[in-house]
Structure 1
Amino acid sequence: MQDIQLKVFSETGRLKQVVVHRPGPEVDIMVPDMMEQLLFDDILYGDLARREHDVFRQVLERVADEVLDIQDLFVEAMDSEGTKLAFIEDFRRLVDLQDESANLLRDMAPADVAQALITGIPWEDTLGHTHWQKRFDYTVRPIPNLLFMRDPAAVVGHGYNINFMATWAREREPLILSYVFRHHPRLRHLKETDRLFDQLTPLLKGEIRMPQSLEGGDTLVLSERVLAVGCSERTSADAVYQLAESLRQDHHRGEGTFDTLLMVLMPKIRSAMHLDTIFTRTSEDECLIYPPFFTDDSRELLNVVKFDLRHASLHTSTEPNLLRALRGCGMDLRPIRCGGDNYIMQQREQWTDGANAFCLAPGVIVLYGRNRATAEELARAGYQVTLARDLLADPAIDLLDGRKYAVLLESSELSRARGGPRCMTMPLSRD
């Protein structure tokens, strides 16, 4: 197989390679007592969630050259005993893993290690028998949020971020992604300087004690020059400053094209946990927005700190909102309203990820079908609103025929997990 060449300079370029994760047994074993700890608002019906995700993947495959699953990539990255053992030692340092669990993992084949790290290791497997106090607990807890591949890492230009998660429930995911980027046969060609942000490695080496969180849902590559990053419930201002400085150094060496980073100052609320829950791109000159945070007549406008990356040190200025800041960067985007003009529908549909669209190509997006008012707004903006099942049943529909498409996914289960189509994807390469 050919090396994977990282290339993401927009949110809208035709999708070439993308990583997802099909929800597996890790969602089937979740009980109500786990929900708050594992960041879910409900438990999922796993079989239906998998069917919905399979349809989502088939829609991606109508445009993308490759749709890859992170579990497969992780197994392939651990193609030597040394890599597997090194991962287990790093995992042990990260989560203070018990000796018994570490020994179990050491004795497993790579595919079994990957499965155990995703679905968890129950206490009874560690103890060798069932203990009445531990019968529903895990020495290694499941990570059902791996479904949301957007967050633990991000490709930015020709480089990538190994993010650091704000919550312990997801602390394992960036470690998995770090090993994939460093050890997968198709990614081993990447250089250390290609890693733009990484708090995990210095933490494991004992060089820092208080890592700053940065998550991929807050990272939007808007052009070859402009990056937008949310300062949110999940991403800290210090992490954004560190990323800005890394990009400035990249630009100073002549290795990077980004000259502007826009930090969007967001409320620290669960309904808007990431920037992509309130703002996503849909075409080269359009975006999908949650209106209360972006329209000029709103009292909830989100201010922006603009970082100029072209100098010997970071230069900052402020803008009243993101759309105006983008106009100053030469990007005059026409906003499409999540939920339409009705404030109640705006709130309801933003909560169910109505603003979280994912671009397969310019003007070709995927979003949850339950957000009907948003779909009507897209239709008024000239999008051909198409059900995913109708698209897959008709091979004559060409999503790259030059028209604009909004493909609606059935999502009665996936939407319960609090993430939309963009959340479920990590693009590696776009045109």
Structure 2
Amino acid sequence: MKTTHHSEYLKLHSLFIKPAKNAFFSEATLHAQWEELNYLEQPKFNSAIDEYNIFEAKFLKEDIQIHHFPADAMLTIDSIYCRDASIATDFGMILCNMGKAGRKGEPEVQKAIYKSKNIPILGEIRSPGTLEGGDVAWLDQNTLAVGHTYRTNEEGISQLKNMLEPKGIEVIVAELPHFRGESDVFHLMSILSPVDKDLAVVYSPLMPIKFRNELLKRGFKLVEVPEDEFDSMGCNVLAISPRKCMMVAGNPKTQQRLLDAGCSVFAYKGEEISVKGGGGPTCLTRPMLRSL
């Protein structure tokens, strides 16, 4: 079986996650951090554990190999959204440099875990460059989309290009809008989730025209998320395999549009682990190997 890191939608075989108990620690930790980190409200610790157990069980049921990022008291509760600290490539991991100040320590911790498992490191984004994993998405094996946002700056994108373009990877930049400002969590994957080679979930009102046209030119059909399901993360959809999707419950219109497009959908309750912190299933996972 041939495998690749260069996909958001091929059959998933392994991934890293950070369980809620490892990231949230306790009710007291949540109480101390949630406001400073711009959560909508304080997650409930025990309910978060219950939600996460159901979320993780789906991967076990699908026979997907799971690696856990361990608890680390030096990191914040945001480390549950483990996609953001690194990018998986066939050439090795790229360690990000976080645009959110409270998350600066996460890439170094992930680096140590990858090294302990003999996973190669391709490179690291260095200051003044910033880049977060929620701002990048593979469109196909040779094309990586990256959002220019408040979390990912021009210097970070330049460093990413310098690592990947010599290896034959096309890096497409999506210039994202100001929207709710610097303190908000607004990544490229807030408005884009590829779920098959020719199908993507999108929120078009915040999508750059040039980038949206590029998706159409590449043959993507678009599942449009309605306005009233954007804040509830209807656009944040994780593909376990082509058109086999995971999403946060509470987005019935988007879920039905996915079903109409020939997808199957597992909707998990994510009030504590997703909605309050602004991180859906793509944010909660660092996908690794997928089959070609």
Give the aligned length: 284
Compared CA separation, residues 27 and 219, structure 1 to 2 (3 A) = farther
SS of alignment partner, residue 57 of structure 2: helix
Whichever residue aligns with residue 363 of structure 1, its letter is R
CA distance in 1, matches of 2:213, 2:185: 20
How far the C-alpha of 1:31 sits from its partner, in A, is: 5.7
2:20 corresponds to 1:161? no
The C-alpha deviation readout for 1:327-384, integer Å capped at 9, x for no partner, is 55xx310000112xxxxxx1x311121100001001111001111121122222233x
SS of alignment partner, residue 267 of structure 1: coil
SS of alignment partner, residue 48 of structure 1: helix
Q: Corresponding residue for 1:137? A: none
Of the three residues 112, 123, 130, the one matched with 1:179 is: 112
Compared CA separation, residues 417 and 406, structure 1 to 2 (3 A) = same
How far the C-alpha of 1:64 sits from its partner, in A, is: 4.4
* Contact 2:35-2:41 at 8 Å conserved across structures: no
2:10 corresponds to 1:13? yes
CA distance in 2, matches of 1:17, 1:262: 26
CA distance in 2, matches of 1:180, 1:31: 24
CA distance in 1, matches of 2:26, 2:81: 13
Of the three residues 131, 135, 139, the one matched with 1:218 is: 135
2:177 corresponds to 1:267? yes
CA distance in 1, matches of 2:107, 2:246: 26
For normalisation by structure 2, the TM-score amounts to: 0.90
How far the C-alpha of 1:291 sits from its partner, in A, is: 2.3
Whichever residue aligns with residue 278 of structure 1, its letter is I
Q: Corresponding residue for 2:41? A: 42
2:125 corresponds to 1:198? yes
For normalisation by structure 1, the TM-score amounts to: 0.62
2:257 corresponds to 1:408? no
SS of alignment partner, residue 262 of structure 1: strand
Whichever residue aligns with residue 322 of structure 1, its letter is F
How far the C-alpha of 1:115 sits from its partner, in A, is: 4.1
Whichever residue aligns with residue 285 of structure 1, its letter is D
How far the C-alpha of 1:198 sits from its partner, in A, is: 3.0
SS of alignment partner, residue 150 of structure 1: helix
How far the C-alpha of 1:231 sits from its partner, in A, is: 0.6
Percent identity, aligned pairs only? Answer: 21
Compared CA separation, residues 248 and 382, structure 1 to 2 (3 A) = closer
The structure number with the bigger radius of gyration is 1
Compared CA separation, residues 195 and 70, structure 1 to 2 (3 A) = same
How far the C-alpha of 1:56 sits from its partner, in A, is: 0.9
SS of alignment partner, residue 39 of structure 1: coil
Compared CA separation, residues 33 and 45, structure 1 to 2 (3 A) = closer
2:252 corresponds to 1:372? yes
CA distance in 1, matches of 2:26, 2:251: 24
Show structure 1 runs of 5+ residues with no match: 72-113, 119-142, 200-209, 252-256, 295-301, 303-319, 340-345, 384-404
How far the C-alpha of 1:41 sits from its partner, in A, is: 2.0
The C-alpha deviation readout for 1:8-60, integer Å capped at 9, x for no partner, is 11111111110111112435224666333223221011111111111111112
Identify the structure with bigger relative contact order (alpha carbons < 8 Å, sequence gap 6+). 2
The C-alpha deviation readout for 1:65-100, integer Å capped at 9, x for no partner, is 3111111xxxxxxxxxxxxxxxxxxxxxxxxxxxxx
Q: Corresponding residue for 2:214? A: 325
Q: Output aligned runs, 1:15-414, within 5 Å.
A: 15-24=12-21, 25-26=24-25, 28-30=27-29, 34-71=33-70, 114-118=71-75, 143-182=76-115, 184=116, 186-187=117-118, 190=120, 194-199=121-126, 210-249=127-166, 251=167, 257-258=168-169, 260-270=170-180, 273-294=186-207, 302=208, 320-328=209-217, 331-339=218-226, 346=227, 348-383=228-263, 405-414=264-273
Compared CA separation, residues 268 and 14, structure 1 to 2 (3 A) = same
* Contact 1:233-1:267 at 8 Å conserved across structures: no
Q: Corresponding residue for 1:314? A: none
The C-alpha deviation readout for 1:276-325, integer Å capped at 9, x for no partner, is 0111012221100112134xxxxxxx1xxxxxxxxxxxxxxxxx422322
Compared CA separation, residues 272 and 333, structure 1 to 2 (3 A) = farther
SS of alignment partner, residue 155 of structure 2: helix
Show structure 2 runs of 5+ residues with no match: none
Q: Corresponding residue for 1:390? A: none
CA distance in 2, matches of 1:32, 1:187: 36
Compared CA separation, residues 10 and 115, structure 1 to 2 (3 A) = closer
